[in-house]
Structure 1
Amino acid sequence: MCGIHGLIQLDGRAVESQWLTAMGDITAHRGPDDEGQHIDGDCGIAMRRLSIIDLSGGHQPLSSADGQVWLVCNGEIYNYRELRQELIARGHSFKTHSDSEVLLQGYLAWGDAVVERLNGMFDFALWDARSRRLLIGRDPLGVKPLYVLQDGQRLGFATEAKALLKLPGVRAELNREALPDYLHLGYVPAPLSLFKGIRKLPPATLLSVQGGQVKEWRYWRLSDQNVRVDRTATREDWLARTREHLERAVRMQMVADVPIGAFLSGGVDSSAVVAYMAQQSSQPIRTYAIGFEGGAAETLYNELPFARQVSQLFGTEHHEIVVKPDVVGLLPKLLWHMDEPLADSAFITTYLVSQFARQDVKVILSGVGGDELFGGYRRYLGDHYAAKWGAIPGPLRRVASAVAGYLPADRHAKWLNVLRLAKGFIQTAELDSDSRYRHYVQVLGREGVKALLLDGAGTHDALGAALAAAPRSDALTRLLAVDAETQLPDDLLMLTDKMSMAVSLECRVPLLDPELVAMAASMPADIKIAGGQLKHVLKAALAEKLPQDILHRAKRGFGTPMGAWLKASLQPLLQGLLAPEVIRARGWLAPEPVQRLMAEHQAAKADHTDVLLALLNLEVWARLYLDGRDPASLADEFHAMLKR
């Protein structure tokens, strides 16, 4: 695990070492153990290393025996031992025991197609001096991020966008094209980034530069071409396959030469990971959980009793942290690490529990991805309940629709949250499946975005593009594929990577093992979600390992009671950072709609937690990157706002 970065001069000029050094210094948190670079005239590749496998011998860049091919790689390749044996049988010799070297030797054996043989999370850069060709790439699900800067003279790449800002002549500017999608979805979808001139390399994508020509292509995606829903297997077949793939994925991802642990919330996904880890280990597994101090809203997000129950069941070495986070002090620091703002408060929780776990371990396993694979979100039930809604007499439906607009909503109060969910369903029940899905995942509707922006809503629509490319053979698989193309890599996996690496902790996601993903994609919807039960097959497969009250308890996201905080302790910060004069000075948004959103949220007329957090974090990001403010000085300024 590390961070990679580099540069190729399209105009043939030589790369200077100090440029690579500056890029590495700004991302030293990703690799405090080691660093290295290789420059060959107009191309330079470099890395910062967090040593996990082959601690003494895995220095990068790695090179071929003749010194003609060089590699830097971030992440882990879990099937490296199998690939290593295959390559040795073909006559290849290895200098190290590093997992990354199989990518280098695999390239020598199979060329660009090596990526199709890798099971892992990675981004990499490979310089082939024989053909003067640079190849960079990203893993199939986008677990590891990769940013690209390209202008007429050069192409730079880095695991974090801030490294590209260290190149000569580059300065942070807002990408106005990305702003509509950010306000619509609460994150910036690939290939866009919020920095002008910098883009994300999408998941499962390779990019080559040779002779001044840049080529980019996808090598895999969930589509009609490679997703075949298997309707011949029985329910028992699927249960057996699910158990087999879970066991194999967790076993493969437990390989490390350093201490390893697991995040444990007491939910189905993290509990499944811990269950299979315990099965594989002769020693107690180290588990880490987080809870919040405070009132009713904080209690709603406190999952510690469930985590304790699972810990006791599997005899883990359990560690808990109960926090009342200094959100005002954390926001500048964490958004600096994030590179881009987002509306998912889970980045705060992920950072705090990562920081806690890093005191003991260097590698952590997480349950991220289980909802996307096995159907764990309420939005996947849209078609199921729409059919029931259609059976209600028309006059009653019309009355309910008229009343729904007046229902209060607040996700941090039990009954107001029920009304929020009912309101959302009723308002979308008559829509087609794609439109209903969009409504469920959006932070703000496209008409609302248009009203907010001074220059209109823009033309880019990442969600529309993902829906157009998604498979149509199975309605649920279609929605899961859209999630895998958008929210999963650009929100959940992005924050997981950035927040764990902020404290130099490697976070692995075994539920996103490529073979497990392929198996889940081939599973029919009525197996994944049977009779309206989310994650039906996963829960059934785990029935002999986990108690029923864990398998069937109410779902709670891994976030914070941010909506409640915005009404109370964080209200002065919200009012200060989104004041009309501040918004006018930026020149991006209309102040009046922002004030209306704040007023409606405060009065519980609507739950605007996500869009208000998106707007708040956008302003913090602008002060950090566009205004060049230091995170510590911003934290002091924000604390002063609370005292006024």
Structure 2
Amino acid sequence: MCGIHGFYRFDGERVDPAQLTAMGDVTRHRGPDDEGQHIDRNGRCGIAMRRLSIIDLAGGHQPISNADDTLWVVCNGEIYNFRELRAELQDRGYRFKTGSDSEVLLHLYDEMGDDFVHRLDGMFNFALWDARRKRLLIGRDHLGVKPLYVHQSATVLGFATEAKALLQLPGMRTELNRDVLGDYLHLGYVPAPHSMFSGIRKLPPATLLAVENGEVREWRYWRLPATIDRSVSEAEWVDRIRSGMESAVHRQMVSDVPIGAFLSGGVDSSAVVAYMARHSSHPIRTYAIGFEGGEAEQLYNELPYARQVARLFGTEHREIVVKPDVVGLLPKLLWHMDEPVSDSAFITTFLVSEFARQDVKVILSGVGGDELFGGYRRYLGGHYVRKLERLPRWSRRLMSRAAELMPSDRHSKVLNTLRLARGFLASAELSPDERYRHYLQVLDHETVSALTGGRNGSSDALAAAFAAAGDEDALNRMFAVDAETQLPDDLLMLTDKMSMAVSLECRVPLLDRELVELAAAIPESLKVKNGRLKHLMKDALSDVLPPDILDRKKRGFGTPMGAWLKRELAPVLRRLLATDVVRDRGLFDPAVVSRLMADHESARIDGTDALLALMNLEIWSRLYLDGHSVDDVTAELKSHLA
């Protein structure tokens, strides 16, 4: 695990090693244990890394070369099947210098060319320099667990695990990419291939990019399978899921350093812990987080369930109960994120990562289980629409009108139920694709247009993802869209950035490629059955987890941010989104912003995600566009509390 970076020069100038060093210095948190760089003898290309030592602690220094120094590689992440690949390659006569998982990339590329990526099971981004062909090849893993940013100009192509490293390149100007503001306000994150920086883009998941003879070529090497297998019985699917989950967790436990697991007490993290316990000779270390405070905070407190699972599997369990200094955290965390987001889970993920890093260097997480096996409430839309359609049309219209008058707030049990009912009724008459959009959107297109004065930008990430998705099965169609958008560009992005902010490697075994391909073939009618989310997955775990864990209501891994915006954070919110501040920034209509704040305050809408998106964008702008330090922005925000 590390951060990689480097660049290729088109103009004949030599790569300056000091520039590579500067790129590494700004991402030192990704790899505090080691650093290295290689510049080709002609000076055209340089690749470099910062290393967090996980496997082959003494011998895994990067960049790694082959025997005659004609191939060089830097790799961020883990290749879980490297031992099997290494044995195959040794049988074919390849000789290894190290015990590192990254070295298999060199010899596998030598053996198979670009097709070598099809053999990799892991989370990774890499850069490989082929001196024989004077060719740079960079790539990103199948699901996009590890991020990779690219900058291309007439003189240089740069790449880095974090965008801030590319800002160290000579001639780079830090400018806002206004074309993505519409998508950002609509979804709460910036979808690939775009980024919030002008001139910097994200390499999409499962994508390779090659530079050879001054030419750049980019292509997709894998997509989520779109064929549903209806020949398999329900009992057989249960067996396959059970075996697939256990195998994935076991594979991802490979490590030469202490390893642990996040444990919320939900189905996904509990399943990971259960299978870890089966394959460990000593107690698993588990980590959970809760919040101090009133009703809003208690809605996010899953500690009793985490304790129950910890006792069941005899883990070494640690808990942290926090009342976080959110104002003090936000500037630092948004600097680490590179791009603003509206998902408050980035705060929770950082806090529990920081806590776990006291003991371990590697953590396993349950991220991805909801997408694979149908765990989100939005996947029940079709189920409840079919029930609603049994009612007379006049009664449905009456219910929709009543829903518009319902208060909306996610931080009270009663108001949260009303919020969910309001959202469902407002979208019930829409097509499945538009209903999905309605569930996920932070702000609708009409409000985005009002905010931006009609300058929404031309991209629509959800429309593009739906156009590429299969249409054989509605639920798996949504899964395909999730895998192209929210999963890599929101959940996995924040998981990577927030864990690596404290030099912690976070693995996501439920997104193992074989398990993902298995899940993609399961019919909708079995994933979610009779209104039961994760039906097959829960049946597969029935011999592992108790019913009260399997069937308890889902709670996201976030924070009571909406309540905080009305209470502790209200002075900061009002100042950051004040009319003069919004007007001076010049991006949004101040009157529309003020109306959003007022509607959230009065519970006319649940504006949590929208206001966090706007507030985080302003903080991000002060850091990256205005050039203020994290400490200075933090001090300014704290002054507003005073």
TM-score exceeds 0.5:
yes
Residues 225-244 of structure 1 mapped to structure 2, 5 A cutoff: 226-244=225-243
The 10-residue stretch of structure 1 (387-396 or 609-618) with the greater mean CA deviation from structure 2: 387-396
Alpha-carbon distance in structure 2 between the residues aligned to 1:168 and 1:417: 50
Residues 264-275 of structure 1 mapped to structure 2, 5 A cutoff: 264-275=263-274
Alpha-carbon distance in structure 2 between the residues aligned to 1:8 and 1:473: 43
Question: Structure 1 residue 29 and structure 2 residue 29: aligned?
Answer: yes
Deviations 1:356-414 (A, max 9, x none): 00000000000000000000001111111111111110110111111111110100000
Residues 481-520 of structure 1 mapped to structure 2, 5 A cutoff: 481-520=480-519
Where does residue 446 of structure 2 map in the other structure?
447
CA contact (8 A) 1:5 1:45 kept: yes
- Percent identical: 69
SS in 1 for 2:109: helix
Offset at 1:348? Answer: 0.3
CA contact (8 A) 1:373 1:520 kept: yes
Alpha-carbon distance in structure 2 between the residues aligned to 1:458 and 1:177: 5
CA contact (8 A) 1:263 1:365 kept: yes
SS in 2 for 1:177: helix
Alpha-carbon distance in structure 1 between the residues aligned to 2:221 and 2:391: 46
Give the TM-score normalised by structure 2. 0.99
Offset at 1:456? Answer: 2.0
Where does residue 460 of structure 1 map in the other structure?
459
Q: Which amino acid aligns with 1:17?
A: P
Offset at 1:228? Answer: 1.9
Residues 24-423 of structure 1 mapped to structure 2, 5 A cutoff: 24-40=24-40, 41-222=43-224, 226-423=225-422
Q: Which amino acid aligns with 1:205?
A: T
Where does residue 598 of structure 1 map in the other structure?
597
CA contact (8 A) 1:455 1:588 kept: no
Deviations 1:426-468 (A, max 9, x none): 0100000000000001100111111100352221111110010
Question: Structure 1 residue 10 and structure 2 residue 6: aligned?
Answer: no
SS in 2 for 1:634: helix
Q: Which amino acid aligns with 2:610?
A: V
Q: Which amino acid aligns with 2:326?
A: V
CA contact (8 A) 2:262 2:364 kept: yes
CA contact (8 A) 2:228 2:472 kept: yes
Q: Which amino acid aligns with 2:19?
A: W
Offset at 1:172? Answer: 1.0
Give the TM-score normalised by structure 1. 0.99
SS in 1 for 2:318: strand
Alpha-carbon distance in structure 1 between the residues aligned to 2:140 and 2:10: 22
Alpha-carbon distance in structure 2 between the residues aligned to 1:15 and 1:139: 27
Structure 2, unaligned runs of 5 or more: none
Count of equivalent residues: 640
Q: Which amino acid aligns with 1:405?
A: E
SS in 2 for 1:178: helix
Offset at 1:171? Answer: 2.0
CA contact (8 A) 2:182 2:457 kept: yes
Offset at 1:471? Answer: 1.1
Offset at 1:107? Answer: 0.3
Deviations 1:455-491 (A, max 9, x none): 5222111111001001111111100010000000000
Alpha-carbon distance in structure 2 between the residues aligned to 1:7 and 1:459: 30
SS in 1 for 2:596: helix
Where does residue 557 of structure 2 map in the other structure?
558
CA contact (8 A) 2:148 2:162 kept: yes
SS in 1 for 2:449: helix
Alpha-carbon distance in structure 2 between the residues aligned to 1:387 and 1:533: 15
The 10-residue stretch of structure 1 (589-598 or 450-459) with the greater mean CA deviation from structure 2: 450-459
Where does residue 522 of structure 2 map in the other structure?
523
CA contact (8 A) 2:264 2:288 kept: yes
Q: Which amino acid aligns with 1:52?
A: I
Where does residue 636 of structure 1 map in the other structure?
635
Structure 1, unaligned runs of 5 or more: none
CA contact (8 A) 1:70 1:128 kept: yes
Q: Which amino acid aligns with 2:624?
A: Y
C-alpha RMSD over aligned residues: 0.6
Q: Which amino acid aligns with 1:551?
A: L
Q: Which amino acid aligns with 2:21?
A: T
Offset at 1:257? Answer: 0.2
Alpha-carbon distance in structure 1 between the residues aligned to 2:9 and 2:456: 36
Offset at 1:214? Answer: 0.5
Q: Which amino acid aligns with 1:2?
A: C
Alpha-carbon distance in structure 2 between the residues aligned to 1:359 and 1:400: 52
Alpha-carbon distance in structure 2 between the residues aligned to 1:121 and 1:448: 37
Alpha-carbon distance in structure 2 between the residues aligned to 1:42 and 1:409: 57
CA contact (8 A) 2:24 2:48 kept: yes
Deviations 1:225-262 (A, max 9, x none): x3321111111101100010011100000000000000
CA contact (8 A) 2:135 2:212 kept: yes
Deviations 1:251-301 (A, max 9, x none): 000000000000000000000000000000110000000000011100110
Alpha-carbon distance in structure 2 between the residues aligned to 1:176 and 1:227: 34
Alpha-carbon distance in structure 2 between the residues aligned to 1:177 and 1:311: 47
Q: After TM superposition, what 4+ stretches of structure 1 lie above 6 angstroms from structure 2?
A: none
SS in 2 for 1:361: coil
SS in 2 for 1:617: helix
Q: Which amino acid aligns with 2:617?
A: L
Q: Which amino acid aligns with 1:151?
A: S
Alpha-carbon distance in structure 2 between the residues aligned to 1:263 and 1:438: 30
CA contact (8 A) 2:179 2:456 kept: no
Alpha-carbon distance in structure 1 between the residues aligned to 2:67 and 2:140: 25
Alpha-carbon distance in structure 1 between the residues aligned to 2:469 and 2:387: 26
CA contact (8 A) 1:454 1:587 kept: no
Alpha-carbon distance in structure 1 between the residues aligned to 2:430 and 2:447: 18
Alpha-carbon distance in structure 2 between the residues aligned to 1:83 and 1:569: 53
Deviations 1:3-52 (A, max 9, x none): 00000001221100000000000000000000000001110000000000
CA contact (8 A) 2:226 2:469 kept: no
Alpha-carbon distance in structure 2 between the residues aligned to 1:455 and 1:551: 46
